[in-house]
Amino acid sequence: KSLFFAVAYVILIFGIQHFMKERRGYKLQAPLTLWSLSLALFSAMGAHRVWKQMAFILSTKGFKQSVCSPSFYVHPISKLWTYLFVLSKLLELGDTVFIVLRKKQLIFLHWYHHVTTMVMTWYSYKDMVAGSGWVAVLNFSIHAVMYSYYTVRAAGFKVSRFIAMAITFSQMLQMLAYVIMNILIIFWREDKVCHTTWTIIFFSFMLYFTFLGLFCNFFFKTYL
């Protein structure tokens, strides 16, 4: 299903972009503000809920189990928020619709990151692979800040360039953390509680390295 949504997403956004080519962009200030605010609040709640489970595992079982433990798929609260996290990757594709309807620049990093993250997240959840707890908690945390920033910007307020710079830098660190975690998972793979598949490892490495490269390129071109 994720591949179906991925293909539909690409067709839709470039179809809308073509449709808008000879038309004036819509402002959509109020809808965009509400959209960003909703995702900011959702991400903040998700970060709070998943961090509680993460903190418990770290304090009682240590870092290795925080990566390998399947409790994020089992514990009632973290299970719910992990599932909602996965579903949110589909919802977040709506970000791109606002970009093309407003005739803003659609960069490769944006749509590539959105569509591949959705596919990878859905497959990882289906196979209940190790590391998903950290993926969710870091992503929720950064998105809570990022969508809050988008909300303020969409509402028409000026925000310090430093905040945008810090958000992008945090995304770079996030991808680096995922790469390191993947390396650890390979070493811990023989552990019966550290489940993953070579397919997930291969594609996640490919995605995280490309994300890291793209975010670094964006950071240096935009802020330096």
Q: What b-and-e string marks burial along 21-35, b requiring 16 or more CB atoms within 10 Å of the CB?
A: eeeeeeeeeeebbeb
Predicted TM-score (pTM) of this structure:
0.95
pLDDT at 112: 97
pLDDT at 43: 98
Percentage of the chain modeled with pLDDT above 70: 100
70 vs 208: CA distance, rounded Å:
22
Express each pLDDT in 23-43 by its tens digit. 999 999 999 999 999 999 999
Express each pLDDT in 57-111 by its tens digit. 999 999 999 999 888 999 899 999 999 999 999 999 999 999 999 999 999 999 9
113 as an active site residue: the answer is yes
* Residue 46 three-state SS: helix
Catalytic residue from among 113, 114, 143, 195: 113
121 vs 178: CA distance, rounded Å:
13
Half-sphere exposure of 15 (CA within 13 A, CB side): 6
